[in-house]
Amino acid sequence: GLVIDGRTLEHVLHDSLQNTFLELTEKCRAVVCCQATPLQKSVLVKLVRSKLKAMTLAVGDGANDVSMIQVADTGVGISGQEGMQAVMASDFAISQFRHLRKLLLVHGHWCYTRLTNMVLYFFYKNVTYVNLLFWYQFFCGFSGTSMTDYWVLILFNLLFTSVPPIIYGVLDKDVSAEILMELPQLYTTSQ
């Protein structure tokens, strides 16, 4: 790992040392920046996002972390003694840092699989409906007549096909939370 303080980070974030710093950080499993200013934190996240083309996650618990959380792809605020500014600026809020692992590995995995299956559901649902309209045009001699009333067209997506996504989105859990916590490798398969 690499530990760097705020004064050293200020020198590293200049244009001449950015590439060297990024090459060094790529070789480390973890990089910890301590006593950094809010501007340094946000610049560091921007640097990693732009130069390494990586998805970033910022975790903070106070007002000094707000700019970093807003710059990151995903922001997680920890509600605690330093107030609620980080929570208000974040995408997700947790009460303690130890809940971050469950948020990422369990709920992140479930979210990926649900979104993937929902995209497929909507794709195939619309293909089925358009296919039905296409073959009806052969029956009516390509006259452009509609085979259904307008209210059916309006309510098709709104009511008739909305129950499966709602049920699926609420109830689907392909792997239990306990297994996902024991095998973190399953997170990458859902991506």
Q: 156 with 120, same domain?
A: yes
pLDDT band for position 70 (cuts 50, 70, 90): very high
pLDDT band for position 6 (cuts 50, 70, 90): confident
Tokens describing residue 18: 């950015």
Residue 82's Cβ-count burial label (10 Å; 0-12, 13-18, 19+) is middle
Q: 36 with 70, same domain?
A: yes
Q: What is the CATH number of the domain that holds 67?
A: 3.40.50.1000
Q: What is the distance between the alpha carbons of residues 105 and 103, in angstroms, rounded to a whole number?
A: 6
80 closest CA partner among 70, 91, 94? 94
Mean pLDDT for the chain overall: 85
Q: Is the pLDDT of residue 38 over 70?
A: yes
pLDDT of residue 185: 84
Last residue of a domain, one of 95, 114, 135: 95
Q: Is the pLDDT of residue 2 over 80?
A: no
What mean pLDDT comes out for the span 172-183?
87
Q: 127 with 67, same domain?
A: no
Task: Give, for 26, the enclosing helix (H) or strand (E).
Answer: helix 15-26
DSSP letter at 74 equals: E
Q: 65 with 142, same domain?
A: no
pLDDT of residue 82: 76
Q: Domain of 144?
A: 100-189
pLDDT, tens digit (0-9, with 9 covering 90-100), for 103-129 = 988 988 888 888 888 888 888 888 988
pLDDT of residue 191: 67
pLDDT band for position 81 (cuts 50, 70, 90): confident
pLDDT of residue 190: 67
Centroid of chain to Cα 72: 11
Whole-number percent of the chain with pLDDT over 90: 13
Number of domains in the chain: 2
Last residue of a domain, one of 95, 128, 151: 95
